[in-house]
Amino acid sequence: MEAETSWTTYPYSYITTYVPEAESYSDHNDDDETKVQTFSMDSLLPNDLLERILTFLPIASIFRAGTVCKRWNEIVSSQRFLSNFSNNNSAPQSPWYFMFTSTDDPSGYAYDPVIKKWYGFDLPCIESSNWFVASSCGLVCFMDNDCRNKIYVSNPITKQWRRLTEPPGHRSTDYAALSASVNRAKQSYSVSVVKSKQVQGDFSQWEISVHLYSSETMTWTTRLTDVLAGWRGGDESVICGNVLYFLIYSTGGSDHRHGLIALNLSTISSSNGVLMRSFIPMPCSLTCGRLMNLKEKLVVVGGIGKQDRPDIIKGIGVWCLNGGGREWQEVARMPQRFFQGFGELDDVFASSGSDDMVYVQSYGSPALLTFDMKLKCWKWSQKCPVSKKFPLQLFTGFCFEPRLEIAP
C-alpha cells in the first residue's frame, strides 16, 4: 500500500495565507565569458495555458501546487480556475468515501478511487461519528443525533462551513432523516429533515413532518404534516430531481417490511393521507436499505435476507427506480466472492453513493467495496490504514464529491 498522505499537512487555507516567493537562480563559472542562467520552464507559459495544464492534476495535488510559488498560488486560488477545474472532463474526480476511525472521534480517512489512495482527513463541524450525514455535489450536511437542532453545511475539502438555524417541529422526535440537494445552476442548496414521532396515547400512529431549508431565503418551511397508521419514519432519505424520497417501516399489519414515500417538492401539499397516496413498494424485503441519488436517478442498495431468517443477509442487491418513478429495475447483485469477503453479515452494513459510484462497507470491518454503475464492475478499495483493535469496534462512513468551487 502506498504511504499515507495527510490532508492536514496541506490545508486549503495555506494557499491563501503563506506563499513562498518565486526565486531565480544562476550558475557562475570561473570563466566570465561562459555564464549559464537557469529558469523555470513554466515561466515560458502564459497564465491561461498554465492554468489549463494544472486542471489536469488530481484534486489532492492542487493543494501542493499552490505552495510551489506565488504565481501558481494565484492561479489555483482564483475563482476561474476553481470553476474550470471542476468542469474539466479530462480530469475526472470520482466521489470519495470517508471512513470514521472511531465512534467518538470524527476524524478518519478519505479514499480517492481515481488514484486508489487514502488520505488522513479531519471533518469540520461534526462532533461525533454518530451524527446524521447527507451530501450533494461537494457539500456535506451534518446534524447532531441528540437534540437534532445543530445542522451544519460544509465543504469538507475547503473546510468552509455554515450553521443553519434550528428547524421547526418537535425536538424530541423518535426518528429523523436528513437529506441535501445542490442546484449548481442557481448556486443554491436545500436541506430536508423528515421527523417521525409516535402519537401520544396511540402507539399505532406516527406523526410525520417534512421541513425544508432554502439557502436562497435562509429560512425553514414546514412543507407537510401527516399521520401514518401502522407505519413509522426512519433515518433514510434523499432528494433526487426535486423529489424527496424517504423510507418508512411497517410496525405491523402489512405485507411489506419497508415502503418508499415520494414527495414532489414543487407541488407538495399538507392534506390528510397524502403520504400513503405517494407510497411505492420496495423491490423485495430488504435489510439495511439505503437511498442514493446517482445522476438524478434514485438507487437503492440493500441486503436480501434468507427466507427462513430475514435478518440474516444472503446477498446484497442494487436497484434503480424507473417507469415514471413506480417500477424497480435490478441493476446488479454482489458476486458471492465479494460478499464472502465481508465475513458474517447480519443487519450491519452501510452503503453510500454518488455520480456512478456505490460504496459498500461492513460495520464490523474497515473493508470497503466499490461498484461502478456504468461499468457494472465490483472492486475492493486499497486497504484502509485503519485496523480493527477490539471485537466490538464498528466502522461507518459516507460518500461525498470532492469539489473546490462549492461553498455553503
Task: Indicate whether 379 pLDDT > 90.
Answer: yes
What pLDDT digit, counting tens, does each position of 191-226 carry?
Answer: 999 999 999 888 889 999 999 999 999 999 999 999
* pLDDT score of 83: 74
* pLDDT score of 15: 35
Exposed, middle or buried, 275 (CB in 10 Å: 0-12/13-18/19+)? Answer: buried
**What's the rounded Cα separation, in Å, for the pair 304 and 201?**
35
* pLDDT score of 225: 92
Q: What radius of gyration, in Å, describes the C-alpha atoms of the chain?
A: 24
Task: Indicate whether 12 pLDDT > 60.
Answer: no
**What's the rounded Cα separation, in Å, for the pair 72 and 158?**
18
Q: What's the whole-number mean pLDDT along residues 252-272?
A: 82
Q: How far is CA 362 from the centre of its chain?
A: 17
173 φ, ψ to 5°? -85, 155
What pLDDT digit, counting tens, does each position of 316-346 carry?
Answer: 999 999 867 789 999 999 999 998 877 655 5
Count of beta carbons in the 10 Å neighbourhood of residue 263:
23
**Residue ranges of the chain that CATH labels 2.120.10.80:** 96-400
What pLDDT digit, counting tens, does each position of 102-128 carry?
Answer: 767 778 999 999 889 998 888 989 988
**pTM of this structure:** 0.84
* pLDDT score of 109: 93
Torsion region of 163: left, alpha or beta (phi above 0 gives left; psi -120 to 50 gives alpha)? beta
* Secondary structure of residue 247 in the 3-state scheme: strand
Task: Name beta bridge partners: 245.
Answer: 238, 262
Q: Which residues fall within 8 angstroms of residue 268, CB to CB, at 6 or more apart?
A: 210, 223, 224, 244, 274
* pLDDT score of 20: 40
For 265-380, list the strands marked E by DSSP. 279-281, 286-294, 297-305, 313-322, 327-333, 349-354, 357-362, 368-372, 377-380
Task: Indicate whether 356 pLDDT > 90.
Answer: yes
The CATH H-level superfamily of 96-400 is Kelch-type beta propeller (2.120.10.80)
Cell numbers describing residue 54: 494544472
Averaged pLDDT of the chain = 83
Cell numbers describing residue 154: 460544509
Reported as a pLDDT band with limits 50, 70 and 90, residue 5 is very low
Q: What's the whole-number mean pLDDT along residues 81-87?
A: 74
Per the CB < 8 A criterion, the answer to whether 214 and 190 are in contact is yes
Task: Indicate whether 156 pLDDT > 80.
Answer: yes
The DSSP letter of residue 267 is: T
Per the CB < 8 A criterion, the answer to whether 141 and 388 are in contact is no
